[in-house]
Amino acid sequence: MNNTMEYKGYVGSVEFSEEDGLFYGKVMGIRALLSYEGATAAELVSDFHGAVDDYLALCEQTHQTPEKAYKGSFNVRIPPELHKQAVVYAAAHNMSLNNLVERSIRQTVHAG
């Protein structure tokens, strides 16, 4: 079972509340809070699509640019010594720190 779903470039979480007997979730990767729920998987998917469509319609009505989920840029906080080691490693291998981080993440994600 997958615990995410995607629609129009937005990724939504899938959770289940045994207490309430409901599936629920929220759109991930944006600041706006878009949540949805359903008693069945089909209802959850439908409500997720509706939440995204409503958000995009509201942005259009208010002339705001919708947030893009996962723009490809994020801040990473690591210990200073590891930061130093990463810079030295990248320089010794003729690559930028950004390339080293991207390569490391790609290897980890594809390995799992």
- Per-domain residue ranges for the chain? 4-62, 80-110
Q: What is the mean pLDDT of residues 44-65?
A: 97
pLDDT digits (tens, 9 = 90+) for 65-107: 999 877 788 888 999 999 999 999 999 999 999 999 999 999 9
This prediction's pTM:
0.72
Question: What is the pLDDT at residue 72?
Answer: 82
Three-state secondary structure of the chain: CCCEEEECCEEEECEEECCCCEEEEEEECCCCCCEEEECCHHHHHHHHHHHHHHHHHHHHHCCCCCCCCCCCCCCCCCCHHHHHHHHHHHHHCCCCHHHHHHHHHHHHHHHC
